[in-house]
Amino acid sequence: MTIAVVDSGGANIASVLHALGRLGAEPQFTADPETIRTADRVILPGVGAAGHAMNVLQNRSLVDLIRSLTQPVLGICLGMQLLFDSSEEDDASLLGLIPARLARLPEQEGLRVPHMGWNAISRKREDPLTKSLDRNWFYFVHSFAAPIGEWTLSSSRHGTEFSAIVRQDNFSGAQFHPQRSAGAGAHLLKNFLECPQT
């Protein structure tokens, strides 16, 4: 199995590659369109700001390519957010694969934004990606979040309920960092690698 990890200009890539390597995978970190187009699985990671990430993808001629992919694709953290229509962050237009807008998490007494730490997830609907993950805890670092909708597989809460795992056709995403979420995170990555072609 070939796995392309898209070079979208973000940080924290080494931990994603190491997490996949621990599962026996041999991912390729790349911005090459042909390598991404022909991979069996594609992972879109990201740490940073939505507007900057979209500029990087545009400059590398990857926006239309990613939109056209038919194999399983997993967005991680900002990579998941990029799957949506738009974000309040930078008032950015995103990939437009999921019809919703990301909003900043609410400022509430006793809750910090950005949300940094461990949260449990709650299953919204059955899916091979979330098999055996309901009520597990994952590590989150984010200030913006996706609303709940028909794309939501699992949710979590920080001041408000938000989408923690999403799927739209062959595109799925995790708001948390599976590579930093111990056994539960490894299980999600394993599920993704084993998910049937949609």
* H/E stretch holding 33: helix 33-38
Q: How many helices (H) and strands (E) does the chain have?
A: 6, 14
* H/E stretch holding 151: none
**Residue 185's pLDDT is what?**
97
**Residue 111's pLDDT is what?**
87
Average pLDDT over residues 65-72: 98
Crossing angle for the helix pair 182-194 and 13-22, to the nearest 10 degrees: 70
* H/E stretch holding 72: none
Can you read off the two tokens belonging to residue 34?
A: 């042909």
Output the pTM of the full model. Answer: 0.95
CA 6: distance to chain centroid? 12
Q: What single DSSP character describes residue 117?
A: E
